[in-house]
Homo-oligomer: A and B are copies of this chain.
Amino acid sequence: MNDLKEKILSENGNDLEKIESELSENLKPYLDLVSDVAHHILFAGGKRLRPLLLVLSAKLCGYKDDYAKTVSTALEYLHAATLLHDDIIDDAVLRRGKTVAHSVYGNAITVLVGDFLLARALAICADSGKIKVIHIISDLTENMSTGEVHQLMRKGDVSLTEDEYLEVIRRKTAVLFQAACTISAVIADAPEEKEAVLSDFGYHLGIAFQMADDLLDYTMDTEALGKEVGADLREGKLTLPVIHALKQADSADYDQMVKIIENEDFTVDEFKTLVGLLEKNDGIAYTQKTAAFHIDKAKNVLSVFEPSKTKDTLFDIADYTLARRI
């Protein structure tokens, strides 16, 4: 799988380099502290998946201008803004193996730098001159904030259904992928049917991405994950592996799982027992299968586009999304 990652990175080296320099150049805060906090979150080994998706989707629509790379930074700023606000919410300790911003700089600065990054994203999108891009960004921000509230409201509730989970991850994750792909069509002045196709592609990719991400919490160790294993569960975040396993389990397994889930201070051994029960009750395999279903969907909708190197890369990204290990 690392081969696939290397392939994507090397084949898109020029674009990624340009995205990286644009990310620095468009930041321009007047205070060093704002710059420090923004850098803390922005340059911590992020994969630039969302900006790259925008740039590649735009190419797929025949867009040739370098400007796509500039607009693409807006997506990364928005993503970073939500990470800053989310880490406060989750009271997380580590992200990508690094101490989270609010532990270093405090909640207040972190909230405000999140707002600043949102404003930068907006300014960059306004520079596109296209009001449709702004509508996409406002919908996105609305969805992401309410999706997070929804998740918080249902915190630790073992009655969370798969449909509700899907709605939460659509709002909190998939809309950003969807926005990246849709904005590319808008700036490329692509016909509406292509815009709709790219929107679907982004949606399915985003859903699969979040499902794969949710799986990592149960399949990786802390060092590889860059954050504490079992963190989702400790925060009361019930994800598909758990939701499906609870649904499948007999009453003995169900009770044992619920007991571990409802104890915030579960031990490493208890967590291992839970993972065993998730495997036994099809939680892991079902989530992998469902994520794979969405990746298939994502690839299939792209059939309206002619074969091309760019399309191949988007397929590679789709495969990587599903099978990534970090």
Write the residues of chain A forming the contact surface with B, with a CB cutoff of 8 angstroms.
Answer: 29-31, 33-34, 85, 88-89, 107-109, 111-116, 118-120, 122-123, 125-126, 129-131, 134-135, 137-142, 144-146, 148-150, 152-153
- A37 to B, closest residue via Cβ: B149
Q: For the complex, give the distance between the alpha carbons of A141 and B123 in Å.
A: 10
- Which B residues are CB-close (under 8 A) to A111? 85, 88-89, 111, 114
Q: Is the CB of B107 within 8 A of A126?
A: no
- Which B residues are CB-close (under 8 A) to A118? 115, 118, 141
Q: Is the CB of B89 within 8 A of A146?
A: no
Copies of this chain per assembly: 2
What are 26 contact pairs spanning A and B, CB under 8 A? A31-B146, A34-B146, A85-B111, A85-B112, A85-B115, A88-B107, A88-B108, A89-B111, A112-B148, A112-B149, A115-B144, A116-B142, A116-B145, A116-B146, A118-B141, A119-B139, A119-B141, A122-B122, A122-B134, A122-B141, A123-B138, A123-B139, A125-B134, A129-B131, A130-B131, A134-B134
Which 6 A-B pairs give the minimum distances between C-beta atoms?
A119-B141, A119-B142, A89-B108, A122-B138, A115-B145, A123-B138
Q: For the complex, give the distance between the alpha carbons of A155 and B150 in Å.
A: 35
- Which B residues are CB-close (under 8 A) to A119? 138-142, 145
A303 to chain B, nearest CB (A): 32
Partner of A34, one of B29, B116, B120, B149: B149
A296 to chain B, nearest CB (A): 29
A273 to chain B, nearest CB (A): 30
A166 to chain B, nearest CB (A): 15
Q: Which of A29, A107, A126, A137 lies at the interface centre, i.e. has the most chain B CB atoms within 10 A of its CB? A: A126
Q: Is the CB of B131 within 8 A of A29?
A: no
- A89 to B, closest residue via Cβ: B108
- A84 to B, closest residue via Cβ: B111
A262 to chain B, nearest CB (A): 20
Q: For the complex, give the distance between the alpha carbons of A148 and B9 in Å.
A: 39
- Which B residues are CB-close (under 8 A) to A145? 34, 112-113, 115-116, 119
Partner of A149, one of B107, B113, B149: B113
Q: Is the CB of B112 within 8 A of A138?
A: no
Q: For the complex, give the distance between the alpha carbons of A141 and B81 in Å.
A: 13
Q: For the complex, give the distance between the alpha carbons of A218 and B154 in Å.
A: 44
- Which B residues are CB-close (under 8 A) to A122? 122, 134, 137-138, 141
Q: For the complex, give the distance between the alpha carbons of A81 and B125 in Å.
A: 21
Q: For the complex, give the distance between the alpha carbons of A141 and B137 in Å.
A: 15
A294 to chain B, nearest CB (A): 23
Q: Is the CB of A123 within 8 A of B142?
A: yes
- A32 to B, closest residue via Cβ: B153
